[in-house]
Chains A and B, each alone.
Chain A
Amino acid sequence: MASYVRLMRPFLRRKWWLPFFAPTLFLSLVILLPFVLLVHSTSGSLDLESAYGSGAIGGLWQRALYNSAVQGVLSAILSAILGFPLGVFLGRYTMKNGSLIRSILILPFFLPSIVVVTAFISTFGGSSTLGGIYPSFRVFSTGLTGIVAVNTFFNAPLVAFLTSGAIERADVTLEESASTLGVRSPAMFRHIWGRNGILAALSGGLITFLYSFAGFTAPLVIGGPSNFTVEAWIYFLVKTLSNIQLGVLFSLMQSLILIVPVTIYLVIWSKERRVTTAFARPTGYRRERGIFYFVGLSYLSICFLLEITILGSLAVESLTFGRAGHISLNGYSLLFSGIITNAFGISPLLPFLNTIFYGILTSLIVTLLGALWITGKRRARIRPDTLLDSAQFIPLVIPSIVMALSISIAYGSNFPSSLTWVLIIAVQSAAAIPVVMRIISSGFASIPDSLWEAASTINGNAFFEVELPLAGSTIVTALMFGFAISVGEFTATNFLSTYTFMPISVEIYVLQSQRLLAASYALGTILLVLSVIFFYFIQRIGRSFETIR
């Protein structure tokens, strides 16, 4: 015992473990412990075998799993097919206002899912102008096609963004030396610059699969029960049918299944070769523009047009809904009239205040946790891409709906309903961890260890006086992403919120389910505009945005 204490003394004295304390406590209390409690509390009634039987439960689970898998696979394939060429083009060629073009292209990925679904309904739905003129387009606003279209619209830009980032970082000197050796383009693609792009596209495809497999908003709003994913069924089983046991069974099985793709994703992520900026493409590096450039430019223009059309139509429909050719503010006035308050008890301004409140607290919590976690890793000299890093991807294995379900069961009975906002913020923070952690991690990685070491040799406060000021733009970016994710998070928030604690995203869903489409378009447009403004500011805060690569 004495020798053990002696061995541990230096570690305890250096307190390297202190920064890990809060993030570990958070992950344990918000994700792991509730999940374990959830499984434990229902373990007596859990019958995993029943899911594979031929009974009603088996049929339901197999159908849900089939829907999740089909939606995940189709969305991933389509996103990779559509996003990869775009990423290659953006990664290989520089162009005027390239940064702005990228920002606009990636925008859908950062929009609240409910806004994108609403935009699809407003563009292709039965009551839309386009859907009215060309009924065959309505297929994009309903059923499996609609869900896959929405998922692809969301994720193809992400694949393009990841691909272009990886291709941009390909070692220019390798490519130049290969060309002096007479290497031809296909071999150059295979061995030099394409390899990273393909890995990034695969990585993007896997993220698409994960998000689509655990898709919630699109299946719920435009899919209908025949297209419900496991995630949507969990919500339906628990909230509508009050069948918690079955919800837990589905949650557990979904998490077990998700371990495989998340692990593959982590392996692919770690395989990406990292190239130092010294060898990456220098600023102003310009390639010869041949036929590929013009083909790529045409493709980019089509994607650009499609995105503007879909997002723009939401704003247009919010002004012209039901009165083609005439501008009306009916939807907006309905939002702020007493009608909705009287019908649902939702006061006009409360969702706005809730959204801002959740956003601020979520961004602060998740950024603080991220900063602590990264500082702990730096102090303990834990190198990147270790097993410890995979902790930040726990929210991918235990998706939002499962987190919401488990946290509501674990703490719900002892939690006064007036504190529901605490649960909402906790789950939103957990959902934001994978993205915000990567931003902070990359931002801090660019600060040499020697700086904090130098500060500590002269007895200074390395974190507050050196790292925090140097990582300022990263921290601001992380705060903004935290806010944006909170605003867009729909799955868990919808599960947990009541009318009193409802944010804008959930109010849009309520309005849609009550067929108040004009008001939902109006509110969707407001959320879209807010998101775009936010995204604009994220972009303005330096190039720290690139850190999500």
Chain B
Amino acid sequence: MDEGTVFTLMGSSGSGKTSLLRNVCGLDRSDSGRVYVNQKDLTEVPTNLRNIGLIFQDLALFPHMSAFDNIAFGLRSRRLDRRTIDVKVEEMARKLDIAGLLERYPSEISGGERQRVALARSLVVEPSLLLMDEPLSSLDPQLRLRVRGELKALIKQLSLTIIYVTHDLEDGLYLGDSAGYMSNGKLIEVDTAEKIYSSPRSSELALFLGYNLLEIDGRKLAVHPRDIIMSMENPVMRGTVKSFGFEGADVRIDIVLEDGQYMTALVPYGEAMEKLGYGMTLGFTIARKLDLKE
């Protein structure tokens, strides 16, 4: 990872993302492997001396402390004088737009504000690396989008170096300068967010991204649902409509192909809905297909 960039680590639940984060900050120990930050081996360094911040899924704000005390917690532990602490906390609070709620307790502020207090608490001690473990997962969809936008703006404004863990594809792609995909404890692919999305090379990642995995002419292919086009003239494959439904801009159609394979297609709303019916046979062509590694 380069300094000042965000690396999003994506993967399904149980893939080992959180374990990796906990190993990086020293809360857990790995059986093998080493942790390097700025070319320094931190494997044997205790958590409290690694200078790596971690924002937890539940944010882990101390409920018995005000927002100010939460943010000042790490500074007090470093034995800074009171005046310096006040200045640093207020400066960080201003940057994160939470200066007006420093006297309030975590239970008295909104989800988005809590998010920023947690961020301030981690950032005020100037960590060399910040780890974020699905911190948006507990927010409702609307607030989540807003907080995500604010978070990205802050990250860019403060040039933070972050490893951001999520199982949410959209969060991962939106926030990451680069992204990685984990499965069964292994980092399967690492690339820019755009490349990860547009050209997955492994079947695990392709599935995670919502691609169809198809076997055509003995080749294992990943086909994005939007790259499947309904075509009754010269179709490359035929299938029966199992179900379909409106999804906003698109209509999602679940299809069982003649050879028994399952596939899903996203076609523009409009003409598609009028033509569709349960159990009807349709023909399809594929606009773009990707060969998978295996």
Contact = CB atoms under 8 A, between A and B. Distances in A.
A binds B: yes
Interface of A: 9-10, 13-14, 448, 450-451, 453-461, 465-466, 469-470
Interface string B33-53: 000000000001011111011
Given A457-B47, A458-B53, A460-B73, A10 B29 contact: yes
B116 interface: no
A448 B125 contact: no
Given A450-B57, A453-B60, A456-B47, 6 more contacts: A10-B29, A450-B58, A457-B27, A458-B48, A458-B122, A470-B64
Nearest to B27: A453
Given A13-B44, A13-B46, A448-B58, A458 B73 contact: yes
A454 B119 CA distance: 12
19 contacts: A14-B46, A448-B58, A450-B56, A451-B62, A454-B54, A454-B56, A456-B47, A457-B48, A457-B50, A457-B52, A457-B122, A458-B48, A458-B73, A458-B121, A459-B49, A459-B78, A459-B125, A460-B73, A469-B64
B173 to A, nearest CB: 26
Nearest to B58: A450
Given A13-B44, A454-B54, A460 B60 contact: no
Nearest to B69: A465
A459 B27 contact: no
Interface residues of B, number: 27
A460 B64 contact: no
Given A453-B27, A457-B27, A458-B53, A466 B62 contact: yes
Nearest to B57: A450
Contact of A458 (B27, B46, B125): B125
A460 B74 contact: yes
A494 B44 CA distance: 53
Nearest to A462: B48
Interface in B59-85: 60, 62-64, 73-74, 76-78
Given A9-B44, A13-B46, A453-B60, A460 B77 contact: yes
Nearest to A469: B64
A10 B60 contact: no
Interface in B147-166: none
Contact of A457 (B29, B53, B58, B76): B53
Given A448-B58, A470-B64, A457 B44 contact: no
Contacts of B6: none
A450 B73 CA distance: 15
B25 interface: yes
Contact of A448 (B27, B49, B60, B78): B60
Nearest to B64: A469
Interface in B74-106: 74, 76-78
